[in-house]
Amino acid sequence: MTEPKDYLAGVGSDIAKSQKRVLFVTRRTSTKVKVRDEEQVQTFPEALLRIAVAVELLVVALICASLLFDAPLEGIADPADTPNPAKAPWYFLGLQEMLHYFPPIVAGILIPALLVLALVVIPYFNVNIEAEGLFLTNRRRRLNIFYIASLGLSLFLLFFKVYVALVPTLIVAAFMLIAASSSLDSAKRYRRYLASKPASWWIMTWFLFELIVLTVVGTFFRGPGWSWVLPWKG
Amino acid sequence: MARGTDSYFDKLQRTRAWRSVFRSGSGYSTLHRALAIQQNVFLHLFSTKVRRRMLTFRATWYLGALTLGTFFILVVTGILLMLYFHPSVPQAYADMKDLKFVVSSGMFLRNLHRWSAHAMVFLVFAHMFKVFYRGAYRPPREFNWVIGVILLLIALLLSYTGYLLPWDQLAFWAITVGSNIASAVPVFGGKVSFLLLGGHQVNANALLRFYVLHCVILPLAAALLIAVHMWRIRKDGGLYVRQSEPRIEPSAGTLRDSQPDDAVVKV
């Protein structure tokens, strides 16, 4: 993002000719104080002490976990013996779940690449900086875009029978409909809250929801041949 | 601050040896405390002051600090594990058995390394979502967000490369699944997979490459980027505060959420 110019350098910007500089503030001219200097404390010792305590609590927790639970170790690697199912580490199980429905080029390359790209570009779009409530302006147009996007995505997931990803999508879409029918003057607090949320918030929340659901399903609910199993049934 | 009785630590701080090591000198003044940060090569990554309300738990949940904490644990336990580990087949697997049955506290060491690795991946994700929901990616912090995304990928790769090292069934097949995905990249997918594994399938070459990646290349990259990541927090104006600004009731009509917070007149 380019820094918006709040001022123009006026006469005498050549320091050799004139040592006076005049500044014309052309935009956002209010000198009203919007951010006050707030109370600050010394990093040493105030912040470092708290960080040290936080990290020590974490160390204690991890040591307790290490004393109670042993890291898994199966038989020696055997290329001739494929376990069923062969599972990736838990943080990749969302992707492995996608791999079950889509070819590797989509699930293994395209989806992760798009995810990383989407994450990287977040701060470079002004719409994410301003973060206006999604349906507060251009309501009709944005609602149409929302209908097309969510319906298209849902039909796509339905077509490939990706019910695991479809359910969170529909839930988030339902909340977005509530947001669309709410405003900042709504009587209910949760409605005001939902109405104030920008597009990036909805997308990220949908992503987080999908991430959790797919990871939990991949970890606990998938058995031989990537079939649906219930973890509490042997 | 005047102190009637000097502690041993005060005396130690005034010794010539101490003064030769710590540039900030001794003392309890605000200046000395600022210098303690500013004059230390590691601590100078932090700013000398921090907004008080950013120290509350709800502001950050300390997720960044905790992630760094897991990284430190992983470096220490990782170096100790390296003393017992041979990146060769089948010795790697035998070393796992030795850690369990021969090395004193070997199993504890491996447990701590593994659970800390899981914790780090979890904390990196949590940190990212917390930063996002606080809106702390906003300018001028864009690039620090990007560094954070790269660090997320490095954390995943660190965990993933470490996953192969025990050379058990779990490790072998998890990596096989992953490397099959890499070979699906169009045009040069096969080459990427070959480069990563040092062959066409997961074998002893792959173990050695993953070991080098896991113990040298990725930790160095992570350490470097972590330093930049923390230095940029200071350079970009400290921890982001907007979310903890006084809340203006949304029913007032306008939503403060939409106002740029750093409306400082630049001169």
- Whether chain B has a CB inside 8 Å of the CB on A79: the answer is yes
Distance (Å, whole) CA B8 – CA B154: 44
**Alpha carbon distances (Å) from A49 to A42, A46, B65:** 11, 6, 12
- SS3 state of residue A42: strand
Give the per-residue pLDDT at A19: 61
Tell me: pLDDT of B245 over 50. no
Compute the count of residue pairs across chains A and B with CB atoms less than 8 Å apart: 232
Distance (Å, whole) CA B36 – CA A49: 13
The total domain count for chain B is: 1
Whether B24 is covered by a domain: the verdict is no
- Whether chain A has a CB inside 8 Å of the CB on B160: the answer is yes
pLDDT, one tens digit per residue, over A34-79 is: 556 678 899 988 999 999 999 999 999 999 999 999 999 999 999 9
When CB atoms are compared, the residue of B182, B241, B250 closest to A192 is: B250
Distance (Å, whole) CA B207 – CA B172: 10
Give the per-residue pLDDT at B244: 42
Tell me: pLDDT of B48 over 60. yes
Whether B50 is covered by a domain: the verdict is no
The pLDDT mean for chain B works out to: 86
- SS3 state of residue B201: coil
Distance (Å, whole) CA B237 – CA B165: 41
Strand partners, B176: none
CATH of the domain at B229: 1.20.810.10
**Res. B257 pLDDT band, cuts 50 70 90:** very low
- Whether chain B has a CB inside 8 Å of the CB on A1: the answer is yes
Strand (E) or helix (H) holding B49: strand B49-51
Tell me: pLDDT of A127 over 60. yes
Whether B73 is covered by a domain: the verdict is yes
Are B57 and B47 in contact by the 8 Å Cβ rule? The answer is no
Tell me: pLDDT of B249 over 60. no
Q: Which residues contact A222 (CB under 8 A, 6 or more apart)?
A: A85, A87, A93, A97, A228, A229
**Res. A108 pLDDT band, cuts 50 70 90:** confident
When CB atoms are compared, the residue of A65, A74, A108 closest to B169 is: A74
Q: Which residues contact B195 (CB under 8 A, 6 or more apart)?
A: none
Whether B23 is covered by a domain: the verdict is no
Average pLDDT over residues A82-96: 89
- SS3 state of residue A106: helix
Which range, of B158-162, B171-175, B244-248, averages the lowest pLDDT?
B244-248
Distance (Å, whole) CA B19 – CA B36: 12
Number of C-alpha atoms within 13 angstroms, CB side, residue B47? 15
Tell me: pLDDT of A96 over 80. yes
Contacts of B261 in chain A (CB under 8 A): 34-35
When CB atoms are compared, the residue of A28, A58, A119 closest to B66 is: A58
Whether B110 is covered by a domain: the verdict is yes
Average pLDDT over residues B50-63: 90
Tell me: pLDDT of A85 over 90. no
Q: How many CB atoms lie within 10 A of CB B50?
A: 22
Measured between CA atoms, how close is B18 to chain A, in angstroms?
Answer: 18
| DSSP result, A73-102 | --SBP-TT---SS----GGGHHHHHHHHHS
Q: Is the pTM of this model over 0.90?
A: no
Give the per-residue pLDDT at A30: 58
Measured between CA atoms, how close is B189 to chain A, in angstroms?
Answer: 10
Are the beta carbons of B55 and A67 separated by less than 8 Å? no
pLDDT, one tens digit per residue, over A135-192 is: 998 899 999 999 999 999 999 999 999 999 999 999 999 999 999 999 888 899 999 9
Average pLDDT over residues B88-106: 95
Distance (Å, whole) CA B174 – CA B164: 8
Measured between CA atoms, how close is A47 to chain B, in angstroms?
Answer: 7
Give the per-residue pLDDT at B259: 40
Whether B244 is covered by a domain: the verdict is no
- SS3 state of residue A21: coil
Q: What angle do CA B129, B131, B135 make, to 5 degrees?
A: 110
Helices (H) and strands (E) in chain A, counts: 9, 3
Distance (Å, whole) CA A67 – CA A6: 59
Are B164 and B177 in contact by the 8 Å Cβ rule? The answer is no
- Whether chain A has a CB inside 8 Å of the CB on B137: the answer is yes
- Whether chain B has a CB inside 8 Å of the CB on A54: the answer is yes
Domain that holds residue B160: 56-236
Q: What values do phi and psi take at A76, rounded to 5?
A: -60, 150
**Alpha carbon distances (Å) from B25 to A43, A207, B3, B20, B37:** 17, 50, 16, 9, 12
Residue type, B242: R
Tell me: pLDDT of A6 over 50. yes
The string over B2-27, giving b where at least 16 C-beta atoms fall within 10 Å of a residue's C-beta and e elsewhere, is eeeeeeeeeeebeeeeeeeeeebebe
Whether B48 is covered by a domain: the verdict is no
In terms of Cβ atoms closer than 10 Å to its own Cβ (0-12, 13-18, 19+), residue A153 is middle
- Whether chain A has a CB inside 8 Å of the CB on B29: the answer is no
Q: What is the ipTM of this complex?
A: 0.85
Which range, of A7-16, B97-106, B108-117, B148-157, averages the lowest pLDDT?
A7-16
For strand A23-25 and strand A7-9, is the pairing parallel, antiparallel, or unpaired?
Answer: antiparallel
Nearest C-alpha neighbor of B114 from the set B158, B59, B144, B56: B158
Average pLDDT over residues B210-224: 97
Q: How many CB atoms lie within 10 A of CB B171?
A: 26
pLDDT > 70 in chain A, percent: 84
**DSSP character for A25?**
E
Nearest chain B alpha carbon to A116: B149
For strand A40-42 and strand B49-51, is the pairing parallel, antiparallel, or unpaired?
Answer: antiparallel
pLDDT, one tens digit per residue, over A188-219 is: 999 999 999 999 999 999 999 999 999 999 99
Whether B99 is covered by a domain: the verdict is yes
